[in-house]
Chain A
């Protein structure tokens, strides 16, 4: 196994040289590689069934530019670092093995100025607001912005042929949703090609992180994508606590898992209603938005917040859960679960819904594997990966969650996975609430040394959330790269809609429900 050798080398390396170690999430190994090894490793990971988790660049203490990539395989997580000397024009791209690397490499070029060998050199996150010569993560001065806002002209790939026409959609969409641009090339009603243009909500999060103290960065992490606040802030804290070698009390990790499952439940309930609504079944939206509201009110009563934005803090959780709160949440979950089962039976029996759901927006397991589809959508297309089961952090090892996998890869499968995960999340939460360990919910943590690198990985409701954190001097953040699974899944939607009709796009898009903010950063 060629892939195994890379893990062995990384393991030997971390034993012999403690400084090269990466703290935080379980089973993470780091390795510095050469240009040739960088591409060789990517090829071995791809052929060995591993997946690309994230790709980002940073400038270290000594001023060296380093591009890093995180791969996930059965053995764990492998973080490779490649130093890019100023004399080298391009670092080797890995898009031929991992197509989703294309946009990540273009984002690195926009933000850090390091270019890959990928021939697609179009900007990705940079529109027209700042010049190409300005690299937000490297240049400390402010860019010279155009005095009048300039309209961006992005070179979409044109589709030609008899009767082909284009439909541009966005960035402002018809509903109460985030902004992005979709360019459809269609014949009649049928979609020949969809090209996405994102980056509209880019608000400089990665540069903003460098203005935050390490002990306060979890607040910004929680706002990378508001619907995944618990997952991002937990990933941040996991990375930080790993570097600080903090041992968390059991009660703290159990309460974090409770918050993460509450977040999963709230989002799944919202989506189950909204997906049915996009298929014309308003009853579904009414019922599920009612259940979601009940859950959010239970959150507020038990934990003090409807959305758990700043619940996870370095060293534990912000507030303890009282015994009244425990009883309240148990009652709430026990009242929601049977209603969800009842509604599932209605969805399954509804001929009109089945007609819209089944066979819409199909991503076959083969295509999903090639494109690196991940998370919830991946599990609906045969990609049996869930961090909670495959690389569990505390307390998921004890909770032993069940993984849901389907192979149809259509809207119906993504709905079914959500239903199954609602049931499983409810089971996990009831177990957590009944067996919650006693003890403190928070411990003080020390500051990690300048130059330490930590990684956090948490299975959010959408998929695996990854976060890399580098400690700087005087308790500040040197670099923080948060990575939402939407990076992997957005390009797959371009494939999922091919040969579907334009009116099914909102339905297909909603069945993925990807984050714009989490992607645009």
Chain B
């Protein structure tokens, strides 16, 4: 126990806090305030692998490490699509995953956002369209933001979340007024 506590103290808080002049990291600051403005609560993401090679999953998982510390920004990955605001999809959509992806999308409450991750999610990538894949994610469900890369870096994935949030503003505010 002492060793564990000692290690925690020695590690300290290593989450990267950017200086204000760092453009690429300012995205993170802006991201947090936008989420608060738009949603007024944590953003919940449901990740679905619709047929990827698992490379993109590794970089999405990295967002949870203490250097990116995505939960510290108010963003959380959730286990059910019914709890999610944003659907993050990787891979060319395999025909064998097409129904499952549609059902996951349908299970999400409105308004819903979709981010397609990686070259495969954007265009079908190296696998293309074939007897076994539908290619890009947008052939199966509507996509708000697509992030290229093989795999894209955690920082690129973070900034894609911001882009999706920005697009969502009008519809979300409208819904709020209705409530």
Residue pair A201, B51 in contact (C-beta under 8 Å) = yes
Q: Which of A467-519 contact B (CB under 8 A)?
A: 515-517
B130 pairs with A290, CB closer than 8 A:
no
- Interface positions of B from 38 to 90, Cβ below 8 Å from A: 47-62, 64-68, 77, 79-81
Chain A nearest CB, measured from B151 CB (Å) = 7
B94 in contact with A175 (CB, 8 Å): no
Q: In the complex the two chains form, is B53's CB within 8 Å of A517's CB?
A: yes
Question: B174 within 8 Å of A by Cβ?
Answer: no
Residue B100 at the chain A interface, CB threshold 8 Å: yes
Contacts between chains A and B (CB distance < 8 A), count: 167
- Interface contact B100-A172, CB-CB below 8 Å: yes
Q: Tell me if B53 and A223 are in contact (CB < 8 A).
A: yes
The answer on a CB contact under 8 Å between B52 and A130 is no
Q: Which residues of B contact A229 (CB under 8 A)?
A: 55
Given contacts A286-B66, A342-B7, contact A202 B77 (CB under 8 A): no
- Chain B proximity mask over A444-466: 1 for CB below 8 Å, otherwise 0: 00000000000000000000000
**Contact of B153 (CB < 8 Å), options: A287, A306, A342:** A306
CA distance A151 to B67 in the complex (A): 41
A142-B14 Cα distance, complex, nearest whole Å: 53
Docked-complex contact B94 and A202, CB < 8 angstroms: yes
Question: How far apart sit A134 and B95, CA to CA, in the bound complex (Å)?
Answer: 15
- Residue-wise interface mask of B (1-37) relative to A, using a CB-CB cutoff of 8 A (1 in contact, 0 not): 0011001100100100000000000000000000000
B179 contacts A by Cβ under 8 Å = no
B60 and A204 contacting across the interface, CB-CB below 8 Å: no
Report whether B127 and A208 are in contact in the complex, using a CB–CB cutoff of 8 Å.
Answer: yes
Taking A175-B79, A290-B67 as contacts, is the C-beta distance between A130 and B3 under 8 angstroms?
no
Task: Judge whether B67 and A293 touch: CB under 8 Å.
Answer: yes
* Contact assessment for B54 and A203 in the assembled complex, using a CB-CB cutoff below 8 Å: no
- In the complex, whether B96 has a CB less than 8 A from a CB of chain A is yes
B97: interface (CB < 8 Å): yes
B interface residues, tally (CB under 8 Å)? 52
Q: Which of A143, A175, A283, A293 contacts B4 (CB 8 A)?
A: A283
Number of interface residues of A (CB under 8 A): 60
A129 touches B49 (CB 8 A): no
Give Cα distance in the complex from A220 to B134, angstroms: 18
Given known contacts A171-B97, A176-B61, A290-B67, is B132 in contact with A204 (CB within 8 Å)?
yes
With A136-B131, A177-B49 in contact, is A202–B96 under 8 Å at CB?
yes
Question: Is the CB–CB distance between A289 and B64 below 8 Å?
Answer: yes
Q: Is B144 an interface residue (CB 8 A)?
A: no
Residue A387 lies at the interface, judged by CB distance under 8 Å to chain B: no
Please provide the chain B residues from 83 to 129 with a CB less than 8 Å away from any CB of chain A in the complex: 91-92, 94-100, 102, 104, 126-128
A292 close to B (CB within 8 Å): yes
Q: Is B150 an interface residue (CB 8 A)?
A: yes
Most buried by A among B50, B59, B68, B95: B95
* B160: Cβ under 8 A from any A Cβ: no
B131 touches A134 (CB 8 A): yes
- Choose one: A172, A207, A286, A307; the contact of B130 (CB below 8 Å): A207
Interface-located stretch among A343-351, A377-385, A428-436: A343-351
State whether A203 touches B55 (Cβ < 8 A).
Answer: no
Contact B94 A201 (CB under 8 A): yes
CA distance A178 to B57 in the complex (A): 8
- Interface assignment of A199: CB less than 8 Å from any CB of chain B: yes
Closest chain A CB from B111 CB (angstroms): 21
Establish whether residues A219 and B132, one from each chain, have CB atoms under 8 Å apart when the complex forms: no
B28 to chain A minimum Cβ distance, whole angstroms, is: 16
Within 8 A of B (CB), among A207-252: 207-208, 219-220, 223-227, 229
Give the docked Cα–Cα distance between A229 and B50 (Å).
19
Query: Is A200 an interface residue when CB atoms closer than 8 A count as contact?
Result: yes
Partner of A201, one of B52, B59, B61, B65: B52
Q: Which residues of A contact B127 (CB under 8 A)?
A: 203-205, 208, 223
User: Is B48 a contact partner of A290 (Cβ separation < 8 A)?
Assistant: no
Q: How far apart are the CA atoms of A227 and B128 in the complex, in Å?
A: 20
- Beta-carbon contact of B11 and A149 below 8 Å: no
A306 and B94 CA atoms in complex are apart in Å by: 26
Q: Determine if B133 is an interface residue (Cβ-Cβ < 8 Å).
A: yes
Cβ–Cβ < 8 Å partners of A283 in chain B: 4, 7-8
Q: Shortest beta-carbon distance, B51 to chain A, in Å?
A: 5
Determine the distance from Cα of A220 to Cα of B92 in the docked complex, in whole angstroms.
14
Name B's A-contacting residues (CB within 8 A).
3-4, 7-8, 11, 14, 47-62, 64-68, 77, 79-81, 91-92, 94-100, 102, 104, 126-128, 130-133, 150-151, 153
The 10 closest A-B pairs by CB, nearest first: A226-B55, A129-B95, A204-B132, A289-B65, A174-B79, A226-B53, A223-B53, A204-B130, A176-B47, A127-B96
Q: Which residues of A contact B (CB under 8 A)?
A: 127, 129-130, 134, 136, 142-143, 145, 149-152, 171-172, 174-179, 199-205, 207-208, 219-220, 223-227, 229, 270, 283, 285-287, 289-290, 292-293, 296, 306-307, 309, 342-343, 345-346, 349-350, 515-517, 520
Seed contacts A143-B131, A201-B94, A346-B7; 5 additional CB < 8 Å A-B pairs? A179-B51, A199-B96, A287-B11, A292-B65, A307-B55
